[in-house]
């Protein structure tokens, strides 16, 4: 599940009309407000003296922890309705990390995903942009794990078609074009026909939000997307979508720090672990419906396949 294969449009579900009647259906989605518009309030988070000691002097002097992110992957990092301001659970986590470090603020600036890694350690102090932890990336940079994301199925509330994630053959499933899930569902459909079963009726859309509308309206039996994306859809539709089965093909997500800055990497690791231990990160992730993705241990350069 490489980061850009699963990139999502930075448009809130509410802005695409999921709070109104869906086409071809009399069902109305829940009147939910996008949590990203307010984000998580980090003002009460206190600095940790021991973690402050770990922070490199140049960052202490600047008073700011600068994050680079490609803000097109709701609910991890995306833009508010103004089309400019970054928001999401990764963005809020950066603000929380900065507070624990005793800094004035943690900022997130948009940059194209493919350009991020070379700029970490120069333009940006860290990269928090739903980076999948991989051996290749760990050879180039330090990575601190904080979440584990997999593929998940979302179905209409109550699973009226009795969709079985273990047997999707013959079902109508919506996916976002160009994603890892699109590739996966095509492979699953081929396996169905190879086994003498009905092919999956695959319904690709440019935007995941379009797929969500069709699932809420019961025009599709299910959608396949990243697990936080399904959780976000549950949140944004007021429970008109629910997740079925357990996430599969999971991969760790990690914060990126320059390879030559182990001091900052250890400070980030300590800050994330503190936020895990005191429950702050769970609150942040829960705000966006992504709490199931959160890990309970922040590892520096964890072993991965």
Q: pLDDT, tens digit, for every residue of 75-110?
A: 999 999 999 999 999 999 999 999 999 999 999 999
Residues of the chain above pLDDT 70, percent: 90
CB 155 within 8 A of CB 222: yes
Report the alpha-carbon distance of residue 72 to residue 50 in Å, rounded. Answer: 35
Spell out the residues 6+ positions from residue 39 whose beta carbon is closer than 8 angstroms to its own: 87, 91, 92, 95, 287
* Segment 140-193, tens digit of pLDDT: 999 999 999 999 999 999 999 999 999 999 999 999 988 889 999 999 999 999
For the residues of 196-250, what is the DSSP string, one character each? TSPPPEEEEESSHHHHHHHHHTTSSSEEEEEHHHHHHHHHHTTTSEEEEEEEEEE
* pTM score, whole prediction: 0.85
22-26, 79-83, 157-161, 274-278: segment of lowest average pLDDT = 22-26
């Amino acid at each position: 599940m490489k980061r850009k294969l699963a990139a999502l449009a930075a448009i809130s579900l509410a802005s695409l009309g999921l709070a109104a009647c869906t086409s071809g259906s009399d069902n109305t989605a829940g009147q939910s407000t996008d949590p990203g518009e307010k984000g998580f309030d980090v003002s009460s988070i206190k600095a940790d003296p021991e973690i402050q000691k770990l922070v490199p002097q140049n960052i202490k002097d600047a008073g700011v922890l600068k994050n680079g992110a490609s803000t097109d992957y709701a609910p991890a990092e995306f833009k508010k309705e103004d089309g400019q301001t970054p928001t999401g659970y990764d963005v809020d986590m950066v603000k929380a990390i900065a507070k624990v470090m005793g800094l004035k603020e943690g900022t997130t600036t948009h940059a194209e995903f493919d350009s991020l890694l070379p700029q970490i350690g120069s333009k940006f102090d860290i990269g928090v942009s739903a980076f999948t932890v991989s051996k290749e990336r760990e050879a180039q940079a330090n990575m601190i794990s904080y979440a584990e994301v997999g593929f998940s199925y979302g179905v209409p509330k109550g699973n009226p078609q009795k969709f079985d994630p273990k047997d999707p053959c013959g079902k109508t499933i919506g996916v976002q074009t160009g994603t890892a899930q699109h590739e996966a569902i095509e492979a699953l459909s081929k396996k169905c026909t190879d086994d003498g079963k009905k092919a999956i009726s695959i319904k690709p859309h440019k935007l995941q939000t379009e797929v969500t509308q069709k699932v809420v309206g019961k025009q599709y039996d299910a959608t396949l997307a990243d697990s936080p994306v399904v959780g976000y859809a549950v949140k944004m539709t007021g429970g008109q979508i629910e997740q079925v089965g357990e996430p599969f093909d999971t991969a760790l997500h990690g914060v990126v720090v320059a390879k030559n800055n182990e001091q900052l990497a250890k400070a980030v690791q300590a800050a994330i672990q503190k936020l895990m231990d005191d429950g702050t990160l769970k609150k942040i992730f829960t705000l966006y419906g992504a709490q199931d993705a959160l890990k309970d241990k922040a590892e520096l350069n964890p072993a991965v396949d």
